[in-house]
Amino acid sequence: MTETSRPAAHPLEFTASHRELLDQVLDKWSVHILDELCERPARFNELRRAIPAVTQKSLTATLRRLERNGIVERSVVRSRPVAVEYRISPLGKTLRAPIDALLEWIATHGADVDRARGRFDDEAEHDLGRLGR
């Protein structure tokens, strides 16, 4: 009677708010930014240079989102001209481990995925041929 209907499923359920959080934290640029900020704090244009592909709009949006979620901290130094520094928060640091786990999975299994894709696409093309081109 330690478990009810589910066969000891797995520990966690995956709800809509989980998905939302994942989307915000693993979106197109978050990982890049976290990469940079984990090594050192950086200013806005430093990040732009470090991640050349990001547009300023997306960089702003992603930083705001990460700041809102408590993952990065923004501090304004009122000098001339203004200096704004972004750094990773304590909460943000706890995100490294799970993200790195993901990246390591890609590093070790990415080649397997590539091979699987090759097989899949070959078979698809082959099946297409069988059906008269």
* Residues near its own copies (CB under 8 A): 7, 9-12, 14, 17-19, 21-22, 26, 28, 31-32, 35, 38-40, 67-71, 91, 94-95, 97-107, 109-110, 112-113, 115-117, 119-121
3-class secondary-structure state, position 43 = strand
Indicate the residue among 64 and 93 with the shorter CB distance to DNA: 64
Q: CA 108 from chain center: how many Å? A: 18
Pick the closest to residue 32 from 18, 44, 56, 50 (CA basis): 50
Cis bond before residue 81 (omega within 30° of 0)? yes
Indicate the residue among 4 and 17 with the shorter CB distance to its own copies: 17
C-alpha 56/C-alpha 12 separation (Å) is 37
Site for DNA in 79-108 (CB under 7 A): 81-85
Indicate the residue among 43 and 119 with the shorter CB distance to its own copies: 119
Interhelix angle 56-68/30-39, nearest 10 degrees: 70
Indicate which single residue of 61, 69, 73, 87 sits in contact with DNA (rule: CB under 7 A). 61
C-alpha 25/C-alpha 27 separation (Å) is 6
Q: Which one of DNA, its own copies, none is in contact with 56 (Cβ closer than 5 to 8 A by kind)?
A: DNA
Q: Which one of DNA, its own copies, none is in contact with 94 (Cβ closer than 5 to 8 A by kind)?
A: its own copies
